[in-house]
């Protein structure tokens, strides 16, 4: 049997969060945390609204997922995020010990990939390029609207 719950399905959910961020005039990055094919946390960038440079989608999602599970480690979980995590977020993802991180589009300027994924926990599988076009387009639209 083919499961409808795959990387594309969950990345579409993260994209919904990115669209919410766009509506709030936040950089449109969205994230969801999944455990056992169930979304346990949804988040998007909230840095402008909270006046908090650490309020990235990934950080918000880690906090919500940890609260849901009642612990600080996210073993057995996958994070789906529309844009490659930055160094700060990769560090937090390291400490949360996620099984898998899936992102849509690379961030050539600030992405953790500049360090060849050495910032992630050794057991964390990192995948990229899921719905890359859609994830990239919303970022381009946002920054074009700012010019």
Instruction: Dump pLDDT digits (tens) for 79-137.
Output: 999 999 999 999 999 999 999 999 999 877 776 666 666 778 889 999 999 999 999 99
Q: Which pTM value belongs to this model? A: 0.93
Q: Which of 17, 26, 58, 84 is catalytic?
A: 58
Catalytic residue check, 26: no
- Check residue 109 and give its pLDDT: 74
Please give the share of the chain, as a percent, with pLDDT higher than 70.
93
3-state secondary structure 37-90: CEEEEEEECCHHHHCCCCCCHHHHHHHHHHHHHCCCCCCCEEEEEEECCEHHHH
- Cβ 26 vs Cβ 43: under 8 Å: no
Q: What is the mean pLDDT of residues 28-51?
A: 97
């Amino acid at each position: 049997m083919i499961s409808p719950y795959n990387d594309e399905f969950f990345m579409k959910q993260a994209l919904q969060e990115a669209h919410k961020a766009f509506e709030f005039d936040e950089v449109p990055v969205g994230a969801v945390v999944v455990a056992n094919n169930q979304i346990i946390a949804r988040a998007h960038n909230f840095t402008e609204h909270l006046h908090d440079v650490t309020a990235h989608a990934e950080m918000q999602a880690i906090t919500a997922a940890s609260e849901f599970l009642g612990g600080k480690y996210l073993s057995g979980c996958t994070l789906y995020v529309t844009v490659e995590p930055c160094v700060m977020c990769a560090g937090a993802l390291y400490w949360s010990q996620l099984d898998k991180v899936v992102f849509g589009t690379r961030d050539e300027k600030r992405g953790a990939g500049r360090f060849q994924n050495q910032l992630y926990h050794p057991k964390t599988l990192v995948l990229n390029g899921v719905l890359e076009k859609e994830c990239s387009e919303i970022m381009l639209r946002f920054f074009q609207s700012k010019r």
